[in-house]
Amino acid sequence: MPGAVPFMRRRRQSITRRASDEKFEQGSEGHRLDVKVLGINALFHDPAAALVIDGQVVAAAEEERFSRRKHGKRPVPFAAWELPELSARWCLDSAGLRPEDLDAVAYSYDPGLARPAEEMGLDDPWDWLRQRYAERAPGFLAAALPGLDPANVVFVPHHAAHAASAAPVSAEGAWDVLVLDGRGERASSLAGVHDGVHLHALASQNLPHSLGLLYESVTEHLGFLRSSDEYKVMALASYGEPRFAERLRPLIRATGEGGFVTEPVEWGTLAKHRQAGEPWERDHADLAASVQLVVEETILDLARWLQGSTGGDRLALAGGVALNCVANTRLFAEGPYREVWVQPAAGDAGTALGAAFHVGTEVVPWDGPALGSRWSEEQIEAELRRARVPFERPADIAVEAAECLASDGLVAWFQGPSEYGPRALGHRSLLADPRPAANVERLNHVKGREEFRPVAPMVLDERAGDIFGRGPLPSPYMLFVHDVAPEWRDRIPAVVHVDGTARVQTVSDEKEPLTARMLREFEARTGVPVVVNTSLNTAGRPMVDSPHDALELFGSAPVDLLAIGPFVVRRPR
């Protein structure tokens, strides 16, 4: 779909606007407005809601954090009608709005663009049901949010929503944009350039070719949960040799015109199907490594084509494939762009935010993905009293946490608003000392994770360059992997993956002063400016969101210290 897709501050022709809104037209003339748009992602994966007022993200959250069901729902056609009701209501409540106050609800899928599954080459006999549910989304939304006028629901093309989720950086000037995911209406990619006002789409790849669906397919073959566990395949790849890559390259490759092919692969001819829970074998790791390699090569070729078309030097990535931090690093290290930025909520959850941006009138650069629920000191204290747990208010919570970590304690770190997107970034984190290698096993036990999966480090911004290389620095959202300097590998073994890399989060005084202080206090005690950072959840559960969730986790997991706001709850050791 070559050509300019009008984008931001102007009314788009590519979407079905059902509301006649003078406000949107006035926005293009630059008047001061009060445009309130609720973005909704519901159809495929990770339902989420985001509220954008005058281009400012006011609130954004995934449904799983409220429903306490991992990923919100299964991504099957029968569940396509389900909406992120709890997160949508929370977004409205947090701004003191009622559904009737909204100027638009932006739904990140446009059923008018879809085609019957068989026409698109998809083997999905129930896809028609998904489309019917999407068409009826305005009615479902009006029922879920009483007072909402269904005529105010706007369908936003799925990949335009992904692309618009990169708007926070595009607001600062032109960026090339590459969206890669499983599928949208009839495509699985979008390559273009966003000039701060418009998204100019240069190329897209139609289904059934899809890097995301390909990765999902091998995920299932390797015995993991499709549309959920793709990151496990990426981790497993580090243990293998890409000895099947030559056989895969003719089937999975870029076309040289901004698209790619992913022909069906008989995975069983390369490695036998692994049942969930069975031990993995060499063939499984080699298959994971091979798929990972050819996907990286395809992404690199796409990026080279895009950069050759635009001459740009900055690339923004979105779509579920952009959560592949190994591929992101290769793109940064070997690709044609000086800068690579990845939307932290790169998966479908991020389309709630992108859809709202797409429909809104302007975009205000954001401060990062800490956009979820937030709790006052009074609320936290009330919850601690209600639970009748002994707690204290130390002089400095950062010192308390650092002391516990330095004596090899596990710390549940609950600070500030929860994160939007799949990564814990120091707001709902489980922290540990990176020096004992055994802490990987200890954390994987708490979280019910596979042994082969690494845990990740957070590091002080100014010390990151001494310890980590190859990937971009700073790297505040854990979306790239970095090589660990050889002299540091034995000092922080818990965060070094089998291939000598680590998925780093850098922490700055400016953006995260409390967490930075905790890291500095840890360094003062140990000489190491790094702690292990994993998401604050137990096996199979979504990340902790509320103080109540945090206490539930603390009550059931061998965590030594809960650092919640300015308070601590200790477990006798």
Contacts to Fe ion by CB under 5 A: 181, 348
Minimum CB–partner distance for residue 44 and Fe ion (Å): 6
Asked if 413 contacts 458 with a C-beta cutoff of 8 angstroms, the reply is no
Minimum CB–partner distance for residue 63 and Fe ion (Å): 16
Rounded to whole angstroms, how far apart are CA atoms 291 and 283?
A: 12
CB-wise, 48 or 58, nearer to Fe ion? 48
- At 94 the three-state DSSP class reads helix
Nearest to 8 by CA among 26, 28, 22: 28
CB-wise, 181 or 512, nearer to Fe ion? 181
Minimum CB–partner distance for residue 568 and Fe ion (Å): 40
Asked if 307 contacts 336 with a C-beta cutoff of 8 angstroms, the reply is yes
Rounded to whole angstroms, how far apart are CA atoms 149 and 529?
A: 52
Minimum CB–partner distance for residue 479 and Fe ion (Å): 16
List beta partners, residue 16: 155
Minimum CB–partner distance for residue 426 and Fe ion (Å): 26
Listed in sequence order, the DSSP H helices in 68-210 are 85-94, 127-135, 137-144, 158-164, 167-170
CB-wise, 187 or 519, nearer to Fe ion? 187
Minimum CB–partner distance for residue 354 and Fe ion (Å): 10
CB-wise, 44 or 244, nearer to Fe ion? 44
Residue number, nearest CB to Fe ion: 181
Asked if 356 contacts 39 with a C-beta cutoff of 8 angstroms, the reply is yes
Minimum CB–partner distance for residue 468 and Fe ion (Å): 30
Residue that the structure tokens 């240069």 belong to: 202
- Beta strand 48-53 with 56-62: parallel, antiparallel or unpaired? antiparallel
Minimum CB–partner distance for residue 379 and Fe ion (Å): 34
CB-wise, 348 or 383, nearer to Fe ion? 348
Residue that the structure tokens 């999975």 belong to: 252
Minimum CB–partner distance for residue 1 and Fe ion (Å): 16
Give the amino acid at 214: L
CB-wise, 289 or 322, nearer to Fe ion? 322
Minimum CB–partner distance for residue 162 and Fe ion (Å): 6
In the structure encoding, which two tokens stand for residue 413, read together?
């770190």
How many other β-carbons are positioned within 10 Å of the β-carbon of residue 237? 24
Rounded to whole angstroms, how far apart are CA atoms 306 and 363?
A: 24
Q: How far is CA 401 from CA 416, 424, 565, in A?
A: 15, 17, 12
How many other β-carbons are positioned within 10 Å of the β-carbon of residue 232? 20
CB-wise, 156 or 536, nearer to Fe ion? 156
CB-wise, 348 or 545, nearer to Fe ion? 348
- CA atoms within a 13 Å half-sphere pointing along the CA-CB vector of 509: 4
Residue that the structure tokens 């596990």 belong to: 410
Handedness of CA 95, 98, 100, 106 (dihedral sign): positive
Minimum CB–partner distance for residue 109 and Fe ion (Å): 9
**C-alpha of 156 from chain center:** 20
Residues in contact with 38: Cβ distance below 8 Å, sequence separation at least 6, in sequence order: 49, 50, 51, 88, 91, 92, 102, 104, 105, 106, 356
CB-wise, 120 or 485, nearer to Fe ion? 120
CB-wise, 45 or 423, nearer to Fe ion? 45
Residue that the structure tokens 């389309």 belong to: 351
CB-wise, 137 or 440, nearer to Fe ion? 137
**C-alpha of 566 from chain center:** 28
Asked if 233 contacts 450 with a C-beta cutoff of 8 angstroms, the reply is no
Rounded to whole angstroms, how far apart are CA atoms 478 and 443?
A: 18
CB-wise, 75 or 372, nearer to Fe ion? 75
Minimum CB–partner distance for residue 35 and Fe ion (Å): 25
Handedness of CA 261, 258, 362, 475 (dihedral sign): positive
CB-wise, 317 or 446, nearer to Fe ion? 317
Rounded to whole angstroms, how far apart are CA atoms 18 and 20?
A: 7
Minimum CB–partner distance for residue 75 and Fe ion (Å): 10
Backbone angles phi, psi at 88, to 5 degrees: -65, -45
Residues in contact with 11: Cβ distance below 8 Å, sequence separation at least 6, in sequence order: 17, 24, 25, 28
